[in-house]
Structure 1
Amino acid sequence: MRVLGMMSGTSHDGIDVAVVEFSETEGPDGGVLRARLGERGSVPYSPSLRADLVAALPPARPGLEQVCALDVRIGQEFAAAAAAVGEEYDLVCSHGQTVFHWVEGGQARGTLQLGQPAWIAEATGRPVVSDLRTADVAAGGQGAPLVPLLDGLLLAPFVERGLTAAALNLGGIANVTVCAPGEPVRAWDTGPANALVDAAAGGIDRDGRLAASGTVDVKLLAALLAEPFYARTPPKTTGKELFHPGYVDGLLDGRVLRPADLVATLTELTVRTVADALAGVDVVVVSGGGVRNPVLLAGLQRELRARVVLSDDLGCPAGEKEAVAFALLGYAFATGRPGNVPSCTGARGGRVLGRVTPGRSGLPATTRSERWPTALHLS
């Protein structure tokens, strides 16, 4: 089965796409999932949509008319991105765009992803799996992270060698998956990665030039590190509901920093919070937009007492890893398997994630399977 995975993360800069062909074979120690990576890439949002989307995010309080319009417009841009893919696929799995993650008292109460899937189904003729987080939230989970399904398979070879390994995604928010020998998989959001940096830079400082020209402000860094979220016990999730563009203003006490110093401080915040979360890990596999920031990567190399590698080294493209993960979640839906990992989200048990919008070709052909393969071969 070929699945087109589609994802837009908390940086809100565009749509990552990846076609993955899945097949299964039996191995000596269990099933083997083979995943052939096909066409992949990233499609930027149109400037007008991105501007309207960012303007509607917390702490803004958009009206229903704005939410409805964004749902349609995001769906249309996802549809155009899917229709532009030149490779054939059987099923689309669209994460859409998270615009709100409702958390109270450390517990997720709801989550909202926009990007009406009917537009994708109409443009491609293929069935579309969407709304992948809600079933986990209804089962008492955080609804995130969902990438541990892929991460657990990617990290398995390290664990088999007796190592504790982590997958780190540096998007708008940083999230980690940790796999240790003989222990359940754990995953959680560690805090901001690019979200506050991008807001302070007035754009995207992926190459780290602004941070490299600045000096860390010790007073602001201490205030940032006092955020109660970091001390909470996983599983935990966060987003721009907390780490929004105005978050830093209340911590400056009227002081004005040079933009370069502010960005350098916020970059160091990501380094420190990620390093604290990954203490004791032997190997860290990094992906996401932050891998292009040499200041951020150098800081992680400095603070982490671990081998740091890019997910590309494991055959999974760092820029589109989450699109690959959502292709896998689409395959999980099609085979009737749980897509969440309860030890990571806190859900009461495994749940088949998503709902399907039929395409012109009807519903996806489904085959129920009892358990997940134990090994992943990427090519």
Structure 2
Amino acid sequence: MRVIGLMSGTSHDAVDAAAADLTLEGDTLLLRPLGMVSDPYPEELRTALTAALPPARTTMREVCRLDTRIGQAFAAVAVRADRELCDGRADLVVSHGQTVYHWVERGRVHGTLQIGSPAWIAEATGCPVVSDLRTRDVAAGGQGAPLVSVVDLMWLRGRPGTPAALNLGGIANLTVAAGTGDPVAFDTGPANALVDAAVHALTDGRLDHDRDGVLAARGHVDAALLRRLLDEPYYAKPPPKTTGKELFHWPYLRAALAGRDRLPAEDVIATVTRLTARTVADAVRSVGASEVVASGGGTRNPTLMAMLRTALHDIPLRTSDALGLPSAAKESYAFAVLGFLTAHGLAGTVPACTGARRPSILGSLTPGHRGLRLPEPAAVSPVRLRTVPV
């Protein structure tokens, strides 16, 4: 089955599409990567999205407009991926959508909202679309994240020791294959969220991220600010736990800067970059991981990766490219796998990782032009994932 996975993370800078040819052989899922395409959000759309995100106020009119325009943006990238990567023969599109709110109170997730209407994708591609993947896990009592944990566990199975998969998006999340014990997965805290917020605010909107970690490399870590940020109660909470930009945003950082507002911009950016490295490394050590395999946009920031290597000390850090999944596309491939599982009637969650009462078949299905023709339900759920050459 040729599946296109669509993803726009908490950095909300672009829509990524990865295409995979997926085949189930016994208890092994074979993934043949077909490539990735990515298109940035139009500047006007990204500006409107940023203006509507918490802690800002918005209107139902604006939510409707964003749901439509983001759906159209996802549709355009899906059409391109089908044409360029699948020769126009994609069987299924899986859309994560754009997360705009993750409702967490007292450690419990009550709801989660990803927008980008799948009808636009189905209409543009003609393919059936799996969307709204997170809500079912929340309804089953889970955190709705990290959903990629089921894919990470299949992918890491068989590696020695206690391997951990790390995604460095807007928020950092970790999946740990705990040998003979239960696996664990959770959001460790911010990855790029506070770095991006600091860069945007402190450059008066001229820049939206620290390209190549240049600004952080010029700065010095402010010990007092770092201590203040590390006092955040979220870090001490036990997993499973999730967070988002509802907590880690510019007003949050601005409040932490009270009394230290004369710090040079580069020092602030260096400090929040170190915060990411420190909180990730603390989380890795807390679960006894023996190696870290990283992916996501943060892997393209050499300053962050250098700080993380230092913080991890003797725990090896490599990127997912070394294991056959391009780090920039790994999360899109993971959602392609989740949609494949849904299409075959298979659960896409691990209760030990999300805290749900039971495994769930994820998502809602929007039919394509040919109606909804799903494959026969699979008799066996895959327990390992193997990438195969193109």
Q: Judge same fold: TM > 0.5, yes or no.
A: yes
| Equivalent in the alignment of 1:295 | 303
> How far does the alpha carbon of each residue in 1:21-42 deviate from its partner, in whole angstroms, 9 at most, with x for none?
111223xxxx221111113122
1:60 aligns with 2:56: yes
Residue 153 of structure 1 and its aligned partner are, at CA, apart by 1.4
| Equivalent in the alignment of 2:175 | 177
Q: How many residues align?
A: 372
1:229 aligns with 2:227: no
Counterpart residue type for residue 8 of structure 1: S
The runs of 5 or more residues in structure 2 that have no matched partner are 201-207
Residue 115 of structure 1 and its aligned partner are, at CA, apart by 0.2
Matched position secondary structure for 1:368: coil
Residue 143 of structure 1 and its aligned partner are, at CA, apart by 0.5
Alpha carbons 1:42, 1:320 under 8 Å: kept: no
Residue 16 of structure 1 and its aligned partner are, at CA, apart by 1.1
Instruction: Point out the more displaced range, 71-80 or 15-24.
Output: 15-24
Alpha carbons 1:206, 1:289 under 8 Å: kept: no
Residue 349 of structure 1 and its aligned partner are, at CA, apart by 0.5
Aligned pairs for 1:290-329 within 5 A: 290-304=298-312, 305-329=314-338
| Equivalent in the alignment of 2:205 | none
| Equivalent in the alignment of 2:127 | 126
Residue 60 of structure 1 and its aligned partner are, at CA, apart by 0.6
1:260 aligns with 2:275: no
| Equivalent in the alignment of 2:203 | none
Q: Distance in 1 between matches of 2:344 and 2:20?
A: 15
Q: Distance in 2 between matches of 1:373 and 1:253?
A: 51
Instruction: Point out the more displaced range, 120-129 or 365-374.
Output: 365-374
Residue 52 of structure 1 and its aligned partner are, at CA, apart by 0.5
Give identity over the alignment, percent.
Answer: 56
Matched position secondary structure for 1:248: helix
Matched position secondary structure for 2:194: helix
Matched position secondary structure for 2:371: coil
1:286 aligns with 2:294: yes
| Equivalent in the alignment of 2:108 | 107
| Equivalent in the alignment of 1:79 | 75
Matched position secondary structure for 1:284: strand
Q: Distance in 1 between matches of 2:369 and 2:106?
A: 43
| Equivalent in the alignment of 1:95 | 96
Q: Distance in 2 between matches of 1:238 and 1:375?
A: 28
**CA RMSD in angstroms, aligned pairs only:** 1.0
Q: Distance in 2 between matches of 1:249 and 1:98?
A: 23
| Equivalent in the alignment of 2:23 | 23
- TM value normalised by structure 2: 0.94
Residue 303 of structure 1 and its aligned partner are, at CA, apart by 1.4
Q: Distance in 1 between matches of 2:324 and 2:55?
A: 38
| Equivalent in the alignment of 1:167 | 165
Q: Distance in 2 between matches of 1:92 and 1:45?
A: 19
- TM value normalised by structure 1: 0.96
1:272 aligns with 2:278: yes
Alpha carbons 2:153, 2:384 under 8 Å: kept: no
Alpha carbons 2:170, 2:191 under 8 Å: kept: yes
> How far does the alpha carbon of each residue in 1:294-336 deviate from its partner, in whole angstroms, 9 at most, with x for none?
1111111111131111101110010011100100011011110
Alpha carbons 2:100, 2:113 under 8 Å: kept: yes
Q: Distance in 2 between matches of 1:192 and 1:183?
A: 27
Check 1:258–1:337 CA distance in 2 against 1; reply closer, same or farther (3 A cut). same
> How far does the alpha carbon of each residue in 1:260-308 deviate from its partner, in whole angstroms, 9 at most, with x for none?
0000000000011001000031110000000011111111111113111
Q: Distance in 2 between matches of 1:46 and 1:21?
A: 30
Counterpart residue type for residue 360 of structure 1: H
